[in-house]
Structure 1
Amino acid sequence: MTGHRMRRASLSALAAAGLIAAMAGCSGGPGEQAAAATQAGPGGPFRLFDTNGATVTEQTLKGKPYAMFFGFTRCPDVCPTTMSKMALLHKRLGADAEKMNIVFVSVDPEHDKKEDIASFLSMFDAPMIGLTGSQAELDKMAAAYKVYVERVPLPNGDYTIDHTARILLFDREGQFAERMDAAEPEGRAVARLKRLIHA
């Protein structure tokens, strides 16, 4: 088995084991709770670009329901666990899988260039849309989408990022539907996605 396949298999195992992403090190903690406590209705206009360099807006995503997650490629646990769980749920959707999109928005534009995001998403066995943009645009989007993001300096001069660990679900018109926890039982999560697809 190649290293790439082993890494993919290990990530799938993490998701299958149901690790609690919201409790892992790079989740938002108190800040995430504060963000989740804000009024409902995340969403709004944005202008980012995908891993091919193409411009993507909220209008671009219309036509299919989508699950959106904000994270960063160097995240040690929450992000790979969550995206692995989304890939697993995508498989469990069966014939409905192609009727829904999975969207990953990087909150680390300083490090995450489109090539980094493409490489990160290639670890997961499901089609995913990877997005990034300027810091100003991402800050604006995080505020509109009620996502907590905070850069945290590390003793070695590097940094990590605390961020909301919830998945945002949107209908085919781009309207916010609900939040989903990556640790939600598989059967219940699949049922929620199917309801969104067939609404």
Structure 2
Amino acid sequence: MNPIIPAAAVVAVAATLGATWFVTRGGSDSDAFAQCRSSQIAGGADTIGGPFELLNAKGETVTDKDVITKPSLVYFGYTFCPDVCPLDVSRNAETIDVLDERGYDVTPVFISVDPARDTPEVVGDFAANLHERMIGLTGSDEQVRAASKAYKTYFKRHEDDGDYYLVDHSTFTYLVLPEQGFVEFFRRDETPEQVADKVGCFVDNI
């Protein structure tokens, strides 16, 4: 990709490239959450997500079982992102507040795809500044790539930009349930209210 393309455009392109497995159409009759879905995953929802091992804000090793203890909105991004990530993660934080008002307890999770700069402290501060309940996670290159691969996200660092490099990455937010795992994704143009409506449907039908 051409590094002179504006960051938002680059990320949008990356998101498109990284999402070829998402098909926008309704769920099947055998899907327990069919009435909640606005999209279907090619190959099935169970092909997305799975175990991961990362570091939390305290530098402690945590697994998906430690993190996904409640319905969770999971986003892969990085704290040095100049435009897209702050908007997306702020939308997710607003969604959590809307869900709180409606009586739903949902956890926002931010996973960094830039472990070289996003130390546990950095990612923890970033998450805490966006929402008091947001969990910030990072890890080694290997740990982050494994988590990204599990969720079929895309990211690629611009190697020629020195210390101020950008990272192309997917921009989907994932709804993950403790027992069911990944069940739905949300595009960045959906409002907090729209995401909250869909999350509520899934939680009501567990």
TM bin, normalised by shorter chain, reads 0.7 to 0.9
Q: Is the 8 A contact 1:147 1:163 kept in 2?
A: yes
The equivalent of 1:139 in structure 2 is 145
Which residue number corresponds to residue 185 of structure 1? 191
Greater relative contact order, per chain length (Cα 8 Å cut-off, separation 6+)? 1
Identity score, percent: 31
Distance (whole Å) between structure 1 residues aligned to residue 110 and residue 82 of structure 2: 16
TM-score normalized by structure 2? 0.77
Write out aligned runs for 1:114-125 (5 A): 114-125=120-131
SS in 2 for 1:146: coil
The answer to whether the aligner puts 1:170 opposite 2:153 as a matched pair is no
Aligned length: 176
Q: Equivalents in 1 of 2:77, 2:163: separation in Å?
A: 21
What is aligned with 1:24? 8
- Alignment gaps of 5+ in structure 2: 1-6, 22-41
Matching of residue 92 in structure 1 with residue 98 in structure 2: yes
Alignment of 1:32-71 (within 5 A): 32-38=15-21, 39=42, 40=44, 41-71=47-77
Q: Deviations over 1:73-113 (max 9, x none)?
A: 10011111111111111111135566211110011111110
Taking a change above 3 Å as real, the CA distance of residues 97 and 161 of structure 1, as seen in their structure-2 partners, is farther
Query: 1: CA distance between counterparts of 2:153 and 2:171?
Result: 9
For 1:165, the aligned partner's letter is: T
Does the 8 Å contact 1:58/1:174 carry over to 2? Answer: no
Query: How many angstroms apart in 1 are the aligned matches of 2:201 and 2:140?
Result: 34
> Which TM-score applies when normalising by structure 1?
0.79
SS at 2:50's partner residue?
coil
Unaligned regions of 5+ residues in structure 1, if any?
Answer: 1-22
Q: Distance in 2 between matches of 1:113 and 1:69?
A: 17
